[in-house]
């Protein structure tokens, strides 16, 4: 099928909304066809929060769009920078230009290789709490064989959704589900088609629906085109970017698990644009939702028009109020209101005592703080650092098991295939825990950050000491670099369970 199957200006589920002056102010050059879009909007829900965001645009107010997720949301596969989040934001900016004094804003909070477990814990600090629209893209990173919807990984996604819905701005949240054709096959490099059900998105969709969060499914929109190998959706090459002479615009993917900038990323942006176009149309028509479309009673007299304008204003005000959340879908799965995340510069003061450890840049030639990779580094046997933090957990459910159970502390540390040694971890004051050995070596041919979990008792001033161990061989280096610390409830989703921290070292 040609990528021009949907003409500029077409909107999800019907004709383009008329935004006052001209229809062209709402035009968009869709890659997906109307039928694709209809399938891709897998769940609409009440649409209340999306209409609140649309009402801001129609009122001439600035909008803050934020994206959180893994490497797809971060922009992998879009070497020119036109990833789906940026495309969507550019459409907002072009359709409703904002003055320089109060511009629209875009925040890309995505982190390659990261699962929703990190954002469930640290979302308040990683995702801007004044965002009007938040797009969550975790269907790929949150899935691997053996997961169960009742497992801790899914509980983490629910806590993330709850956390974002509780932001003071009451944002419109979209659960965006990227689909990797190759990873959905029974065997990745074997013949045969991708399996429609071999993804994590259906579990995430159940959680999203429980919270009335719209679900956007790339799989639903595009998979039949992939099966047919249609132009723009071709999947007969696993990594088209590596094949000389390939017309990348014929292919949906950049590599085996990232969409291409001008096809896959464009399709994901289409889903967001279509969803917002529908929200705008509903606000313009005075709808309470899709079922109210075309309802009678449009005001024709001047008095009626003024009355309708007042009703729309009151509706917008109500929509901006933060709706109350229901109890968790997974019983007792409340988000902690005292989540502790010390990342980047905020990690420095967690160390209250040290000997032989120094807070320094591991790559001092870097142009930015992030690129310089600051850490507490101990490079001699016996060097130690004492971390002090509050490990008390408090969720919404007072008197819950969370208040009485163990806390899980995650120690961020550098791991490498180079001959780095181990460090001893022990609780020395306030809290108690079992002593453990933290291994800084792994078989992966890279140097990245990993999270080492330690289960501790809850205490306001829990002190944990990390001591560099003697080398086990002459090749081993007695070195430990500490980069972050987080606290969660024990028994919840393990951030590093799948070993896919990815490019964590991009931002510590």
pTM: 0.78
19: Cα separation from own chain's centroid: 31
User: Tokens 């010390």 correspond to what residue?
Assistant: 342
- Please list, residue by residue across 80-94, b when 16 or more beta carbons sit within 10 angstroms of its beta carbon and e when fewer do: eebbbbbbbbebbbe
For residue 8, is pLDDT > 80? no
Report which secondary-structure segment, H or E, holds 259: strand 258-259
Of all residues in the chain, what percent carry a pLDDT higher than 90? 54
Task: Decide which of 17 and 490 is more confident.
Answer: 490
Q: What is the token pair recorded at 346?
A: 């905020």
Q: CB of 10 within 8 A of CB of 36?
A: no
Task: Please give the sequence-ordered ranges of beta strands (E in DSSP) within 9-150, or none if there are none.
Answer: 41-43, 64-69, 105-108, 133-137
Q: CB of 157 within 8 A of CB of 138?
A: yes
Q: CB of 376 within 8 A of CB of 358?
A: yes
256: Cα separation from own chain's centroid: 20
Q: In the structure, what pLDDT confidence band is assigned to residue 117 with cuts at 50, 70 and 90?
A: confident
Fold of 340-506: Jelly Rolls (2.60.120)
Torsion of the alpha carbons at 162, 165, 166 and 167, rounded to the nearest 10? 130
Domain spans, the chain = 32-320, 340-506
88-102, 236-250, 291-305, 341-355: range with lowest mean pLDDT? 291-305
pLDDT at 495: 53
Tell me the C-alpha distance between 163 and 134, whole Å: 12
In sequence order, what are the beta bridge partners of 106?
Answer: 65
78 SS3 class: coil
Tell me the C-alpha distance between 459 and 409, whole Å: 12
**Average pLDDT for 93-113:** 92
pLDDT at 304: 52
Q: Kindly report the average pLDDT of the chain as a whole number.
A: 83
For residue 491, is pLDDT > 90? no
How confident is the model over 353-369, as pLDDT tens digits?
999 999 999 889 988 77
Runs of H (alpha helix) within 336-490: 369-372, 401-404
Q: What is the token pair recorded at 134?
A: 């938040």
Same CATH fold assignment for domains 32-320 and 340-506: no
Query: 32-320 architecture in CATH?
Result: 3-Layer(aba) Sandwich (3.40)
How confident is the model over 320-344, as pLDDT tens digits?
555 689 999 998 888 877 678 888 8
402 SS3 class: helix
Handedness of CA 79, 85, 90, 91 (dihedral sign): positive
pLDDT at 431: 96
Tell me the C-alpha distance between 35 and 488, whole Å: 43
Tell me the C-alpha distance between 451 and 433, whole Å: 17
120: Cα separation from own chain's centroid: 9
Q: What is the token pair recorded at 398?
A: 């007072």
439 SS3 class: strand
How confident is the model over 188-244, as pLDDT tens digits?
777 889 999 989 899 999 999 999 999 999 999 999 999 999 999 999 998 888 899
For residue 126, is pLDDT > 80? yes
For residue 297, is pLDDT > 60? no
pLDDT at 286: 84
Q: What angle do CA 146, 149, 150 make, to 5 degrees?
A: 105
How confident is the model over 18-62, as pLDDT tens digits?
333 233 346 799 999 999 999 999 999 999 999 999 999 999 999
Radius of gyration of the chain from Cα atoms?
Answer: 25
Report which secondary-structure segment, H or E, holds 387: strand 384-389
């Amino acid at each position: 099928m040609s990528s021009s199957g949907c003409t500029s200006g077409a909107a999800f589920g019907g004709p383009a909304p008329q935004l006052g002056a001209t229809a062209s102010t709402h035009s968009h050059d869709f890659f997906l066809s109307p039928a694709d879009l209809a399938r891709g909007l897998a769940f609409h829900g009440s649409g209340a929060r999306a209409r609140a965001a649309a009402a801001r645009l129609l009122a001439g107010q600035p909008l803050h769009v934020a994206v959180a997720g893994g490497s797809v949301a971060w922009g992998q596969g879009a070497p020119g920078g036109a990833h789906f989040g940026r495309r969507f934001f550019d459409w907002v900016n072009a359709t409703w230009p904002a003055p320089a004094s109060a511009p629209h804003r875009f925040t890309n909070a995505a982190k390659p290789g990261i699962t929703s477990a990190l954002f469930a814990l640290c979302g308040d600090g990683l995702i801007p709490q004044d965002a009007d629209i938040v797009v969550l893209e975790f269907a790929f990173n949150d899935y691997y064989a053996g997961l169960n919807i009742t497992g801790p990984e899914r509980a983490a996604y629910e806590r993330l959704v709850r956390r974002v819905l509780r932001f003071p701005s009451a944002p419109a949240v979209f659960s965006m589900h990227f689909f990797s054709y190759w990873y959905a096959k029974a065997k990745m490099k074997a013949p045969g088609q991708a399996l429609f059900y071999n993804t994590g998105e259906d579990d995430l969709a159940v959680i999203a629906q429980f919270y009335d969060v719209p679900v956007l499914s790339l799989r639903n929109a595009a998979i039949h085109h992939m099966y047919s190998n249609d132009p723009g959706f071709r999947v007969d090459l696993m990594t088209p970017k590596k094949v000389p002479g390939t017309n990348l615009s014929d292919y949906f993917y950049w590599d085996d698990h990232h969409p291409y900038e001008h096809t896959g990323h464009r399709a994901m942006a289409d889903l967001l644009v279509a969803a917002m176009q529908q929200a705008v149309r509903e606000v313009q028509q005075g709808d309470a939702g899709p079922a109210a479309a075309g309802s009678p009673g449009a005001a024709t007299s001047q008095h009626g028009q003024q009355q309708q304008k007042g009703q729309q204003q009151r509706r917008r005000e109500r929509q901006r109020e933060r709706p109350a959340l229901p109890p968790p879908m997974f019983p007792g799965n409340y988000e902690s209101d005292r989540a502790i995340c010390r990342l980047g510069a905020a990690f420095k003061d967690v160390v209250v005592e040290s000997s032989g450890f120094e807070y320094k840049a591991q790559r001092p030639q870097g142009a930015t703080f992030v690129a310089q990779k600051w850490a507490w580094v101990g490079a001699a046997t016996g060097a130690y650092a004492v971390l002090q933090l509050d490990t008390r957990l408090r969720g919404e459910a007072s008197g819950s098991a969370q208040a009485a159970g163990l806390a899980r502390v995650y120690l961020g540390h550098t791991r490498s295939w180079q001959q780095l040694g181990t460090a001893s971890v022990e609780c020395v004051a306030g809290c108690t825990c079992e002593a453990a050995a933290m291994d800084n070596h792994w078989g992966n041919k890279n140097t990245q950050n990993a999270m080492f979990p330690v289960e501790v008792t809850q205490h306001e001033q829990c002190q944990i000491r990390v001591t560099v161990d003697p080398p086990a061989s002459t090749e081993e280096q007695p070195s430990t670099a500490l980069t972050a610390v987080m606290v969660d409830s024990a028994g919840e989703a393990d951030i590093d369970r799948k070993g896919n921290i990815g490019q964590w070292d991009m931002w510590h």
